[in-house]
Amino acid sequence: MRFILLVLFFALNINASNKNMSYIFSTGLNFPVFGDFGDGDSGFKESYGFNIGVFKNYDDLVSYGFIASQSSYYKNRKIDIKFKIFSFTPSILGWIDNQRTKYFYFGPGLYHWTQPKTSTYSSTSGDEGGFRVGVGFKKEYRKIFYGGCLEFNHLFNINGKNFDLGPSNTLSLLISFYLNP
């Protein structure tokens, strides 16, 4: 629900004629990596996710703004437990080249995870701090801007009444579309 409200707010505030703003829409796969969360035997499976980014251009090479993302459920490989993650991350975006085709971004963020009730466990949720780091590229085809992104998210501690995963990481492979790049 939070993500739907964020998308609605985002859509109402898009001003395509404002060249000082850039918008990034991404979707892809999120892979749990490292630790208990990413354990190949008893950890969690990958999930699909969506990202929305809004950036204001500070100058030709640096922008600032935020990225919000929502994952579908990460399901455990062995037990009946799953959860999803919503994140909001204020970020700095930097263009690596003057043609604005390659970029990186980073920022600290707030991550909210939700685990629904299952046949074995009651529902629980929590808020965690973390950070996001990503690199990407942008191409143009007939005035449509598209590209790809590799993103790393680190959550400092996923700990609820049903489980304690400790520090958790995701590696995301995303397909992106850009407005006013």
Cα 37 to Cα 58, 68, 100, 159: the distances in Å are: 37, 21, 35, 11
Q: Report, in angstroms and rounded to the nearest whole number, the Rg of the chain calculated over CA atoms.
A: 17
Distance from C-alpha of 135 to C-alpha of 49, rounded to nearest angstrom: 17
SS3 assignment for the chain = CHHHHHHHHHHHCCCCCCCCEEEEEEEEEEEEECCCCCCCCCCECCEEEEEEEEEEECCCCEEEEEEEEEECCEEECCCCCEEEEEEEEEEEEEECCCCCCEEEEEEEEEEEEEECCCCCCCCEEEEEEEEEEEEEEEEEECCEEEEEEEEEEEEEEEECCCCEEEEEEEEEEEEEEEECC
pLDDT confidence of residue 8: 47
Q: What is the mean pLDDT of each run of 10 residues along the chain (181 residues)?
A: 52 55 92 84 88 89 91 87 91 83 92 87 88 92 91 90 84 91 58
CATH code of 104's domain: 2.40.160.20
Structure tokens, 40: 């190949």
Containing domain of residue 57, as a range?
2-179
The number of folded domains in the chain is: 1
Write down the pLDDT at residue 18: 59
